[in-house]
């Protein structure tokens, strides 16, 4: 029985996925102690067959293909239910890890205890000494967040552990946290804001989050991608409005955060008109639809601070 389940949601990124799997296989963490679970979200690039052929001799690699595309939250939850390990390491398919990343995260999980979510320090793929993510500070009043140490050099950093309000892209967690608070919210956040929402719920339930700076990951991140993609822009706007209500911790915050959630889409359109001209009309429509849908959903939801987690767990997936 593996102690750790490494879960990789994927969609149409078979070449990047190969690089990630290869980086896992040269890890110094014992192979007999982990399994690799690939959750393929109906890729159209032949991902499952391609990966099976490339890694035909890897007995602890399992691929599950979903019958229909249900987005990332559903993939994460399926991986959670398929996992046999006591610990779960979720990681996006456009990343690579250092050989000691898993062992560093595993060691810190033992030292800190089960009530923590951990993630590696994340660096730019094309600038491997430059920091992309070393933690995040969320502002529930303005619905914004600030990356800690972003764009600083690796040599400038840092403490061994950095407390963060949320984790994105890769996180290491004791499976009991999922079992306690439930998985990702498939209904409200099938994609976009899904990791943040899980972390907000976990923190509300008393779990702490840390970036482990000795564990490193390189992320092939595309800046401004959602602004050029009408579907992603729609989700960004809609989910910001929903989260403004859901994550608020009192009535005044609900009102103020909602105002910010409506103003920020305007800044997206200004930014798009000056820097990102692709699909401009479609993106304007996406913003309008996102506002309308987000408003409708937000009217009918109750903030987490007013909810019972046992009841909530039954609803989210």
193-197, 220-224, 261-265, 291-295: segment of lowest average pLDDT: 220-224
Q: Which residues are bridge partners to 147 per DSSP?
A: 136
How does pLDDT run across 127-140, given as a tens digit for each residue?
999 999 999 999 99
Give alpha helix (H) positions in the chain. Answer: 14-25, 47-54, 71-82, 101-112, 175-181, 194-204, 230-246, 251-274, 280-298, 309-316
Average pLDDT of span 31-59: 90
What DSSP state is assigned to residue 277?
-
| Rounded CA separation 231/290 (Å) | 9
Same domain, 157 and 86: yes
Q: Would the pTM of this model clear 0.85, i.e. be above it? A: yes
Task: Classify residue 146 by burial, with Cβ atoms within 10 Å: 0-12, 13-18, 19+.
Answer: exposed
Same domain, 213 and 229: no
Task: Classify residue 250 by burial, with Cβ atoms within 10 Å: 0-12, 13-18, 19+.
Answer: exposed
Q: Quick check: 298 pLDDT over 80?
A: yes
Same domain, 182 and 231: no
Q: Quick check: 145 pLDDT over 60?
A: yes
| Count of domains for the chain | 2
Q: Quick check: 224 pLDDT over 60?
A: no
Q: Which residues are bridge partners to 212 per DSSP?
A: 120, 161
Structural contact between residues 27 and 99, judged by C-beta atoms closer than 8 angstroms: yes
Give pLDDT, residue 74.
Answer: 93
Same domain, 65 and 172: yes
Average pLDDT of span 17-37: 94
Same domain, 126 and 259: no
Same domain, 52 and 192: yes
Structural contact between residues 166 and 145, judged by C-beta atoms closer than 8 angstroms: yes
Same domain, 195 and 243: no
Indicate the helix (H) or strand (E) that contains 308. Answer: none
Structural contact between residues 190 and 73, judged by C-beta atoms closer than 8 angstroms: yes
Domain that holds residue 84: 4-219
How does pLDDT run across 76-103, given as a tens digit for each residue?
999 999 999 999 999 999 999 999 999 9
3-state SS record for 148-199: CCCCCEHHHCCCCEEECCCCCCEEEEEHHHHHHHCCCCCCCCCCCCHHHHHH
206: domain CATH number is: 3.90.550.10
Q: Quick check: 278 pLDDT over 90?
A: no
């Amino acid at each position: 029985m593996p102690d750790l389940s490494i879960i990789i949601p994927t969609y149409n990124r078979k070449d990047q996925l190969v690089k990630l799997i290869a980086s896992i296989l040269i890890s110094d963490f014992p192979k007999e102690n982990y399994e690799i679970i690939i959750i393929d979200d109906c890729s159209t690039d032949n991902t499952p067959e391609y990966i099976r052929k490339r890694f035909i001799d890897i007995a602890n690699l399992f691929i599950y293909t979903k019958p229909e595309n249900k987005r990332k939250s559903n993939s994460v939850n399926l991986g959670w239910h398929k996992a046999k390990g006591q610990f779960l390491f979720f990681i996006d398919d456009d990343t690579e890890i250092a050989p000691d990343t898993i062992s560093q995260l595993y060691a810190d999980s033992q030292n800190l205890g089960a009530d923590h979510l951990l993630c590696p320090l994340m660096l730019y793929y094309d600038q491997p000494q430059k920091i992309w993510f070393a933690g995040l500070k969320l502002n529930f009043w303005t619905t914004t967040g600030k990356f800690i140490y972003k764009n600083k050099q690796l040599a400038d950093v840092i403490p061994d552990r950095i407390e963060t309000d949320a984790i994105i892209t890769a996180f290491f967690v004791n499976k009991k946290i999922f079992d306690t608070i439930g998985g990702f919210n498939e209904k409200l956040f099938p994609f976009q804001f899904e990791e943040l929402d899980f972390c907000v719920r976990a923190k509300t339930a008393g779990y702490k989050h840390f970036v482990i700076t000795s564990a490193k990951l390189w992320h092939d991140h595309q800046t401004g991608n959602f602004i050029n993609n009408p579907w992603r822009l729609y989700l960004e706007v809609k989910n910001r409005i929903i989260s403004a209500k859901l994550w608020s911790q009192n009535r005044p915050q609900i009102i103020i955060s909602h105002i910010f959630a409506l103003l920020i889409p305007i800044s997206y359109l200004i930014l798009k008109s000056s820097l990102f001209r692709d699909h401009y009309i479609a993106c304007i429509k996406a913003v309008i639809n996102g506002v309308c849908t987000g408003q409708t959903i937000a009217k009918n939801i109750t903030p987490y601070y007013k909810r019972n987690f046992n009841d909530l767990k039954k609803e989210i997936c």
